Amino acid sequence: MMGWYGDGVGWVGWIMMTLVMIIFWGSLILGGVALFSGQRRSGSSDLGADPERLLDERFARGDIDAEDYERRRGLLRAAR
């Protein structure tokens, strides 16, 4: 039983374990942030449909009439 209450890892070991845990949790958090921000950006890659979708929603709510809707949709499609 020699060394049972002995040296252990010492202060250098504690510093190394602390640094490894900080690196581990930091990389885990940064990886999660990168994963979720990448999914959010990839979902909005079709920028051409987004203005038309907004225009469709405004027309469906009754914010604009059919004549204004057709004119604006024509302008959006001509701008592509």
- What are 2-14's pLDDT values in tens digits? 556 666 778 888 8
Has residue 7 been placed in a domain?
A: no
| 38-49 pLDDT, tens digit each | 776 555 555 555
**Is 59 found in the same domain as 34?**
no
Give the count of alpha carbons within 13 A of 15, CB side only: 3
Does 45 or 52 have the greater pLDDT score? 52
Whether the per-residue pLDDT at 22 is higher than 90: the answer is: yes
Mean pLDDT of all residues in the chain? 83
Q: Structural domain of residue 50, as residue ranges?
A: 46-80
Q: Which residues fall within 8 angstroms of residue 52, CB to CB, at 6 or more apart?
A: 73, 76
HEC-encoded secondary structure of 3-71: CCCCCCCHHHHHHHHHHHHHHHHHHHHHHHHHHHHHHHHHHCCCCCHHHHHHHHHHHHHCCCCHHHHHH
Residue 74 predicted with pLDDT over 80: yes
* 50/62 same-domain check: yes
Residues 23 and 51 in one domain: no
Is 70 among the domain residues? Answer: yes
60 shares a domain with 37: no
Name the token pair of 15.
């510093």
